[in-house]
Chain A
Amino acid sequence: MDDTFAKTHFLTAAQRNTLNKLIGYIVLTVLGIAFFLPFAWMLSTALKAEGYVFAFPPQWIPNPVQWSNFVECMRVVPFGHYLLNTALITGISLVGMLVSSTLVAYSFAKLRWPGRDIMFVILLSTMMLPGQVTMIPIYIMFNRMGWVDTWLPLTVPAFFGSPFFIFLLRQFFMSIPTELMEAAKIDGCSNFRIYSNIMVPLAKPAIATVAILHFLWTWNDFMSPLLYINSPEKYTVSLGLQAFQTQYTTNYRLMMAASLIALAPCLLLFFFGQKYFVQGVIMTGIKG
């Protein structure tokens, strides 16, 4: 916005640009520090030696720096195994989620069918009932199905779409001009081709957002694995992190080191994945 803006005003474009950038950086940095604090605390705790964790106020730069925490936490817990489990669960559910949620959202946004609006209200309503009261009925259901202590409760439901992502994608699909669709229809395109060849490519930023958010949420999910997984060999990373805690003690330095390892794939994905939702397809030439 600022680049285009600078062209029309009385300060020289270069001056204006520099000023804007400077202000931008200052604001970004001040806010950034506030948002960076919890991560910084994790990092510094993960590098501390035993006995230095509870310095209060926090000692931000550990002295001594103990890198071995990262090695030690991997020894306590078969972390590689848990990472692999989590990657499998997340990957499987991600595929199911993307296919079904985009298709369902397209149907809600762009197709006319009897009962659509009622079904949409029902879809939204399912998010309005607090999960605390359906948790036990859901557990009983999966228990009767014999799904407890398997990955099925963590992956299968994703193949039927999630209301949150369906609603989000519907909003994006609805902002795509219908003229495009009409034109394709006149050319004889089926509804499915319109979905796969027009809607999905144009909604790439939204789909990338859904993919990233779903990845991060499934990766970090604690409650479902806690309820459904009993055997250590089926643990996810979030369950594995419990190992640094016992009834009376918490080993914060190892726990934070392990949390950072668990977090690393998320951070890398977010850092490198953002170009897909930020510099995605810019829909030029559509309007007018």
Chain B
Amino acid sequence: MNKSKSTLLHREALDGWLYASPWIIGFFLFTLGPIVASFVLAFMKWDLVNPPRWIGLDNYLRMFNDSVFWSSLKVTAIYSCFGVPLNLFGSLILALLCNQKLRGIEIFRTIYYLPSVVSGVAIGLLWKWLFDPTFGLINYLLSLVGIEGPMWLASETWALPALIVMGLWGVGGGMVIFLAGLQGIPLELYEAAELDGANRWNKFWQITIPMLSPVIFFNLIMGIISSFQTFTYAYVMTGGGPNNATLFYVLNLYYNAFLYLRMGYASALAWFLFLVILALTGLVFKSSPMWVYYESEVKGR
């Protein structure tokens, strides 16, 4: 080492900016403008047809007096409370199952990933059949054990649980990421633990989980973000009904933007949701030193 430490750090800072620059440049070129536009629109009234008009805080004030806003927030919160952990555990369990060395495991992995890529139309129609109260498979199976199944998507009580179950079908994406994470765990760790007499549970909790924690962290953060932005299934399957029981936050936002043509109000809704997600993910970030284990963290300056 013939260079002084400060030149090295200077060099590193320069390289850091340089290597991050593709994203930073892209951010200023393509991302920042539309984000600022939506931020400004949140203080305006815009129907997509006539020029936007400044109305100050009206959109935000309106939001807090809007019962639909509150109910959509509640629906989304309930969905996320169940959906995020279920999806996280579901994809982790699938990844563990698929990490076994079994003949033909490649086929199973592909099958589990299938719902993430097959056509939305096929998925929509199939779920409609599964949940159909009269002709559906689920209620048929329930009737075999003497239970009269609910109306599912037509029921205010059961529509949301049905959508949570549907959401579980998309765990293939999380599974793939977990699988990649599992490959990074050195086998020696398990071998060493076995010599110390560790059983399956010990190894899972003391090696797999900590070593996988950076990926769990990733899937948790992304799970929170995507779950609060849930839209597609409700849009296709229930349209937010019955009686707004599945009107998710972003579905309401979408309706405001593209059905009621209130882009300003929709933007205000979006920025409020942004703050909610930011706060929640911020909490997870704050908690991460307690449970996320990095081989060695390089602190920024």
Contact = CB atoms under 8 A, between A and B. Distances in A.
Q: Do chains A and B touch in the complex (CB under 8 A)?
A: yes
B123 A38 contact: yes
Interface size class of A (residues with CB under 8 A): 35 or more
A212 B176 contact: yes
B215 interface: yes
Contacts of A274: 106, 109-110, 179
A2 B140 CA distance: 38
A269 B298 CA distance: 35
Contact of B281 (A116, A128, A267): A128
Given A111-B15, A212-B176, A259-B122, A161 B22 contact: yes
Contacts of A263: 117-119
Interface string A210-254: 001100100010000000000000000000010000000010100
Contact of B296 (A111, A124, A177, A216): A177
B191 A171 contact: no
B12 A209 contact: no
A278 interface: yes
Interface stretch (B23-31, B67-75, B154-162, B237-245): B23-31
Contacts of A15: none
Contacts of A91: none
A210 B20 CA distance: 18
Given A111-B16, A209-B177, A220-B117, A270 B110 contact: yes
Contact of A283 (B17, B184, B299): B184
Interface string B117-152: 111011101100110000101001000000000000
Contacts of B57: none
A288 B129 contact: no
The secondary-structure label for the interface of chain B is helix
A167 interface: yes
Given A2-B100, A32-B111, A126 B35 contact: yes
B167 interface: no
Contacts of A288: 188
Nearest to A141: B33
Nearest to A208: B180
A39 interface: yes
A8 to B, nearest CB: 6
A200 to B, nearest CB: 13
B41 A160 contact: no
Given A31-B112, A114-B13, A157-B26, A132 B257 contact: yes
Interface of B: 1, 8-9, 11-20, 22-27, 29-31, 33-35, 37-38, 41, 48, 94, 96-102, 105-119, 121-123, 125-126, 129-130, 135, 137, 140, 169, 172-173, 176-177, 179-181, 183-184, 186-191, 194, 197, 200, 203, 208, 211, 214-215, 217-218, 221-222, 225, 229, 231, 250, 253-254, 257-258, 263, 266-267, 270-271, 273-274, 277-278, 281, 294-301
5 contacts: A116-B300, A122-B27, A124-B281, A125-B274, A134-B38
Given A174-B214, A177-B295, 19 more contacts: A1-B96, A3-B101, A24-B102, A28-B97, A32-B111, A45-B122, A57-B140, A111-B16, A113-B17, A115-B17, A128-B273, A130-B250, A166-B23, A175-B184, A205-B179, A206-B184, A256-B122, A279-B183, A284-B187
